A and B are shown apart, each in its own frame.
Chain A
């Protein structure tokens, strides 16, 4: 049983002494600091965010996605053929992302996230998970642009993300996670989704994780559980129906468990977290559980996000003591 994050973490801190990314980006936009100076601030914040996770006691960390504007733009800007258009609402979150448009057929343009991954890995005592927005979700959240249909766009993205996943694996990433929240909103696309995910992970030998959030997987859980991945992540906060689906999880799979609410400031008690773990462990062996917030923590102010991680770890400790 290990504790981890889904992916992103708040970029700014209320601590006046902490490196201030918000100010740095404003200064960069006004031409008052250079790209190198901005990158140094991003690096300082990334280190701070990794330290937060390690201090909270997480076993597997991420780089917090400090350099990502959003989960689409970060990849779209690194893929040849994409342009990035105006703001559009991201699911039901009241946050916005920039709408990517494939103006030309998409082609890889060197690695997208490997440098960022290597920086994080070099500055973490704990293993660092690499996270990619999955090919289905990236296609769904793009316009079709020059593509005739969603399938052809998703398959081109799957090929590009497959190269990226292999480059991350070569850089030493022990776990590579694909985030696929969109499939929960368009379950009718599950065949296309399966094909795209398999293609994106084809030949990857690092541990593979598939992560969903913002709902439950009822109706498509057999497909999720049958993917060639090691970890299947479900959101038990916005998708309580997931508790009833996990009886069908195959023995060899690990369950990624979103059990603290990453979209609300109220901090769960350690006892509440332990109760959720007990409920899961009633169905899936405790050693096959990865515990994490319900989605990325970037919806919360930094102090609340940190508290969520602390309570997650405390709850896991409590549950471990009971079972040992």
Chain B
């Protein structure tokens, strides 16, 4: 009997109101770091329990303690300061990291949180990192003479963090590179940096990529130094599957997004099952993981759980129909 179609998630879950409020109070100096961390642990335990109850296979900690995926690392690493406010779109602003010195780490950034989340469950919890290319692309640079110099230094730092996660026992390590798909001319350099991160890493490695011209970068992705590509597929009408079909030597694992994380509407069981079957047309179940398109922090908790639930239900039904364990 074939096995496979494991279910997972991309990274973030919605923060409960008490976390949003506590983060605000912490920023205003009204509560201490420990009080905030206690609440973040409480919310993490909640999301681990939700994922177990839904029967998911490979869990995430939900990132209750992270704001922005790049700023979190910059704030906890050496060599960065934060800029003033810059606009992301419309009336949305954020503080962008600035590399003002050599980047480095005084101590592991994510390992304690990973240990805590893993201590709550027997299911594997993914170690979650942001990749060097994305950190570099989404930061200002006042220190390094070139993007390449910044990128290669950053890769060495992310490598150290990944090695520490593996040493702590993480079997799955995800290194997200959502910035990767926008500059095809830099893919070769980005792949070299990623190879530094995964070099000698004793874990199943994953990278999440979204929003971009997948066709332009696919030849590079097919040879990227990683075990699994986690792709936003629903929001791009499953075009990614056609690229795989057109590339017979493609041998990576794929985590396929089957629900749109930007829509409030919860997908129907039938549409999710049909997405899974489209994936199975091009990949064997043992190389196909099923998940949402992207991190889910912008959804409400109800929407998020309902979307995860329909994924679980759809996977169970497809497995039963096709005799997959």
A residues apposed to B, CB below 8 Å:
10-12, 14, 22, 25-26, 29, 69-70, 86-89, 91-92, 94-98, 264-266, 298-304
Contacts and interface: CB of A to CB of B under 8 A. Distances in A.
Contacts of B179: 92, 94
A249 B85 CA distance: 39
A95 B179 CA distance: 11
A301 B86 contact: yes
A89 B182 contact: yes
Contact of B83 (A69, A87, A97, A301): A301
B204 interface: no
Contacts of B140: 264-266
B30 interface: no
A298 B87 contact: yes
A266 B179 CA distance: 22
Given A22-B93, A89-B212, A97-B89, A264 B84 contact: no
A312 to B, nearest CB: 18
A302 B83 CA distance: 10
A88 B140 CA distance: 22
A265 B97 CA distance: 10
A92 B182 contact: yes
Contacts of B83: 265, 300-301, 304
Given A95-B89, A265-B98, A301-B84, 15 more contacts: A10-B86, A11-B87, A14-B85, A69-B90, A89-B211, A91-B182, A92-B183, A94-B138, A94-B179, A95-B88, A98-B90, A300-B83, A302-B84, A304-B83, A304-B84
B148 interface: no
A91 B91 CA distance: 19
Nearest to A94: B138
B262 A86 contact: yes
Nearest to A70: B89
A69 B138 CA distance: 21
Contacts of B262: 86
Range of interface residues on chain B? 20 to 34
Instruction: Name, among B87, B179, B212, the residue most crowded by chain A CB atoms within 10 Å (CB to CB).
Output: B87
Give me the 6 closest cross-chain CB pairs, A-B, nearest first: A301-B84, A96-B89, A92-B182, A266-B142, A265-B140, A25-B91
A87 B262 CA distance: 10
Interface in B83-131: 83-91, 93, 98
Given A92-B183, A301-B84, A304-B83, A266 B141 contact: yes
Contacts of A87: 89
B96 to A, nearest CB: 8
B182 A300 contact: no
Contacts, number: 61
Contacts of A12: 85, 87, 93
A215 B169 CA distance: 44
A95 B141 CA distance: 17
B164 interface: no
Contacts of A264: 140-142
A266 B144 CA distance: 11
B89 A92 contact: no
A264 B211 CA distance: 23
Interface of B: 83-91, 93, 98, 137-138, 140-142, 179, 182-183, 211-212, 262
Nearest to A264: B140
26 contacts: A10-B87, A22-B91, A26-B91, A29-B91, A87-B89, A89-B182, A89-B211, A91-B182, A92-B137, A92-B179, A94-B88, A95-B87, A95-B88, A95-B89, A96-B88, A98-B89, A264-B140, A265-B140, A265-B142, A266-B140, A266-B141, A266-B142, A300-B83, A301-B83, A301-B84, A301-B85
Nearest to A215: B185
A173 B66 CA distance: 48
B86 A300 contact: yes
A72 to B, nearest CB: 11
Nearest to B211: A89
B141 A303 contact: no
A94 to B, nearest CB: 5
A88 B211 CA distance: 8
Contacts of A70: 89
A233 B179 CA distance: 28
A144 to B, nearest CB: 15
A304 B262 CA distance: 33
A88 B91 CA distance: 15
A298 B89 CA distance: 10
B287 to A, nearest CB: 29
B257 to A, nearest CB: 16
A89 B88 CA distance: 10
Contacts of A69: 89-90
A217 to B, nearest CB: 16
A186 B141 CA distance: 28
A299 B211 CA distance: 20
A299 B84 contact: no
Contacts of A26: 91
A87 B91 CA distance: 13
B92 to A, nearest CB: 9
B181 to A, nearest CB: 9
A100 B242 CA distance: 26
Instruction: Name, among B88, B89, B262, the residue most crowded by chain A CB atoms within 10 Å (CB to CB).
Output: B89
A207 B62 CA distance: 55
Contacts of B88: 94-96
